[in-house]
């Protein structure tokens, strides 16, 4: 749920690629995008080891030779897919929290956005989780990229007086963990469950923690 973190670089081998590794032409970018979309479906349904390049090209509607213009192997497109999913997830959430007036509002909107995105992309969990066994560095990059930006946003919020001071690194990883497992439960396992009560319950925990109400001290400093 990161507002302003840099997007991960996608890996590609297409001839005529720009500095980011993406094809220079619109047609090339569209073909690469179709291959990534097909790979998401193939790996999401069958897993990395059972997934096949021939099936990816069939799903994408391109020739086998076209695949190798953009990717050198099944592992390379899998890595690119993990980075692409990171890019897409962050972009979706960033758009949803752009107008949030403060950090706590951004937390609520960001959690709602993440769960929505996860429901719309149910292959996300299988692919990202499987990447820890196929390409551990890509798996680490997926989450450390989120955490680095998240930590910076939390620290800025402390500086603006929007949240109380604390270890921003630990907070970032804790909040990511909360989102990931809520997504697993309510986006993958129970996608029909209403999201409103889930977001309300999680946000109450984020905002108030587990301290009993009787022990809370109002912001004025008097019980």
Q: Does domain 26-207 have CATH number 3.90.650.10?
A: no
Better-predicted residue by pLDDT, 13 or 161: 161
Which pLDDT belongs to residue 12? Answer: 44
Distances (CA, A) of 186 to 119, 128, 177, 196: 8, 17, 14, 11
Dihedral in degrees, nearest 10, Cα atoms 95, 96, 100, 103: -100
pLDDT value, residue 4: 31
Residue 93 near residue 114, CB atoms below 8 Å? yes
**What's the mean pLDDT in 173-177?**
96
Q: Provide the pLDDT for residue 220.
A: 52
Helices 26-50/123-134 angle, 10° precision:
70
At how many degrees (to 10) do helices 103-120 and 123-134 cross?
Answer: 90
Main-chain phi, psi angles of 23, to 5 degrees: -60, 145
The 10s digit of each residue's pLDDT in 107-142 is 999 999 999 999 999 888 889 999 999 999 999 999
Average pLDDT, the chain: 87
Which pTM does this prediction carry? 0.81
pLDDT band at residue 187, thresholds of 50, 70 and 90?
very high
Mean pLDDT to the nearest integer, 84-111: 95
Structure tokens at 106: 């951004």
| Residue 17 φ then ψ, to 5° | -80, 155
- Per-residue pLDDT at 8 exceeds 80: no
pLDDT of residue 14: 52
What are 32-69's pLDDT values in tens digits?
999 999 999 999 999 999 999 999 999 999 999 999 99
Say whether pLDDT at 221 is over 80.
no
Tell me what pLDDT residue 133 has. Answer: 94
- The domain spans of the chain are 26-207
* 10 pLDDT higher than 60: no
pLDDT at 123: 87
**Burial class of residue 12 in the structure, from the number of CB atoms within 10 Å of its CB (0-12 exposed, 13-18 middle, 19+ buried):** buried
């Amino acid at each position: 749920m990161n507002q302003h973190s840099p997007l991960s670089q996608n890996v590609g081998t297409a001839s005529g690629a720009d500095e980011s590794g993406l094809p220079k032409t619109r047609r090339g970018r569209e073909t690469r995008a179709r291959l990534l979309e097909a790979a998401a479906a193939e790996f999401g349904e069958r897993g990395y080891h059972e997934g096949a390049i021939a099936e990816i090209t069939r799903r994408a509607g391109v020739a086998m030779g076209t695949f190798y213009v953009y990717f050198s192997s099944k592992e390379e497109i899998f890595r690119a897919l993990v980075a692409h999913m990171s890019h897409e997830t962050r972009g979706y959430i960033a758009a949803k929290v752009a107008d949030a007036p403060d950090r706590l509002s951004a937390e609520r909107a960001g959690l709602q956005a993440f769960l929505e995105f996860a429901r719309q992309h149910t292959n996300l969990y299988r692919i990202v989780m499987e990447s820890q066994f196929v390409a551990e560095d890509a798996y680490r990059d997926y989450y450390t990229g989120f955490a680095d930006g998240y930590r910076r946003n939390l620290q800025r919020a402390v500086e603006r007086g929007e949240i109380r001071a604390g270890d921003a690194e630990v907070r970032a990883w804790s909040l990511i963990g909360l989102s990931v497992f809520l997504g697993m439960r309510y986006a993958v396992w129970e996608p029909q469950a209403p999201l409103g009560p889930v977001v309300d319950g999680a946000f109450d925990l984020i905002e108030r923690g587990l301290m009993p109400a009787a022990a809370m001290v109002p912001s004025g400093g008097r019980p």
